[in-house]
Amino acid sequence: MQKNRFFKSTIGKDVDFAFGSNLPVAGSTTDIELNEVIASSAVGRLYLWRVDENDVQPYAVVVNTGLSTALKKQPIYVGYVVGQNADGTYRMRYTSPMIGNTITATVNAYAAATAQVTECVNSGLGTISSQQMLSFKVIELTPQNSNLPIWDYEQSLIYGEAQAWTNIAAKINAAKDDEFFTAVASATGITITSTDVTRSFKLTATTVPTKADPDESGVTYTVTTTTPQSLGIGTLAQVEEIWKQAQIRDGVGTQYTHDSLANPSEFGAPSTVAGMIATTQFDMVTLRGVKAEWSPTPKGQHSQEYTTLIAVPSGEGAKIVAIFA
């Protein structure tokens, strides 16, 4: 998932999405019924449910414990509390049920997003000429940005290489050309740090001959990325974007009202993830299985492979995976 000024990526396939916290980790498999949660719960809580065709109410599945072979034959789905009704009951959203023994669960643990840090330093070859120019470029590499914006800085070497790098760093940090990065100069080079984790870049530097000194200096620069750019896994920004996609699939049009000069808030935009739970770091759990409809005969049963994506607080993902181990 990536969103920046150039484009926004999506999951790319039809999936169910759920998020929440306060997973039930104790009790028996018949402790909690759905009507109990609807009557007494809290916004932001998440539950996994199992249901037998002969049961009146679905039962909550206890996480961090393997489900028995018999119970795995039942449909299992996720329900999470998104609001409270005027009568005090709680409103839930549900994912499509999948047959438990067909479900494969995997978890991608939370990983923080990191901003790119790259340095460009003199390789130690050739000799700097005070009569030439130092040319330094920052070239954006953000995906889908085919025009490759370039920030170009030139500085005279008349006062030496160290001063040239200092002057270039000052130009960058003045941010007069929409730079999304900052700079720290050294005696023989510069370190560039991105201020936007969704954008990446490369660096080039060279000395430029002049009329005063038209000869090639032989000076080269080495570029090293000390911290690569990463979008991370399970950041709040990513989960918010997936939540918006889930709403759009459900026909919630308030996410696209801007072009008609209307604001989502004027149409009752759904609550954000941050507005429902305090978590900002999520494990991302993927459930892949087969969803099916009850049928009196196997011949009439309909089945379809499906995926459910679940965002839970960091460290909680393994508790869901343990159910299907």
Overall average pLDDT of the 233-253 stretch: 86
Q: What is the pTM of this model?
A: 0.80
Q: Is residue 69 classed exposed, middle or buried when 0-12, 13-18 and 19+ CB atoms within 10 A define those classes? A: exposed
Whole-angstrom Cα distance, residue 19 to residue 235? Answer: 13
Is the per-residue pLDDT at 25 higher than 80?
no
pLDDT at 301: 64
pLDDT at 256: 62
Which of 215, 219, 221 shows the shortest CA–CA distance to 128?
219
Over 262-315, what HEC string results? CCHHHHCCCCCHHHHCCCCEEEEEEEEEEEECCCCCHHHCCEEEEEEEEEEECC
Question: How many residues belong to the chain?
Answer: 325
Confidence of residue 304 (pLDDT cuts 50, 70, 90): confident
Confidence of residue 156 (pLDDT cuts 50, 70, 90): very high
pLDDT at 291: 80
Is the per-residue pLDDT at 260 higher than 60?
no
Which of 127, 153, 159, 129 shows the shortest CA–CA distance to 139?
153
Is the per-residue pLDDT at 254 higher than 80?
no
Is the per-residue pLDDT at 26 higher than 60?
no
Whole-angstrom Cα distance, residue 263 to residue 70? Answer: 50
E-strand ranges in 209-281 read: 221-227
Confidence of residue 14 (pLDDT cuts 50, 70, 90): confident
Cβ atoms of 316 and 23 closer than 8 Å: yes
pLDDT at 53: 75
pLDDT at 295: 62
In tens, the pLDDT along 168-214 reads: 999 999 999 999 999 999 999 999 999 999 889 999 999 999 999 99
Confidence of residue 147 (pLDDT cuts 50, 70, 90): low
In tens, the pLDDT along 213-242 reads: 999 999 999 999 999 999 999 999 999 989
pLDDT at 299: 64
Is the per-residue pLDDT at 166 higher than 60?
yes
Percent of the chain scoring above 90 in pLDDT: 62
Distant-in-sequence, close-in-space partners of 151: CB < 8 Å, separation ≥ 6: 137, 138, 139, 172, 177, 179
Overall average pLDDT of the 96-112 stretch: 94
In tens, the pLDDT along 31-82 reads: 688 899 999 999 999 999 998 877 778 888 888 889 999 999 999 999 999 9
Q: What is the mean pLDDT of the chain?
A: 87
Whole-angstrom Cα distance, residue 93 to residue 182? Answer: 44
Measure the CA dihedral 223/227/229/230, to 10°: 150
- DSSP run (H or E) holding 248: helix 236-249
In tens, the pLDDT along 271-298 reads: 889 999 999 999 999 999 988 665 666 6
Q: Give the domains, in start order, of the chain with CATH numbers.
A: 16-111+235-324 (no CATH), 117-227 (2.60.40)
Is the per-residue pLDDT at 131 higher than 90?
yes
pLDDT at 20: 93
pLDDT at 152: 96
pLDDT at 1: 53
pLDDT at 269: 72
pLDDT at 219: 95
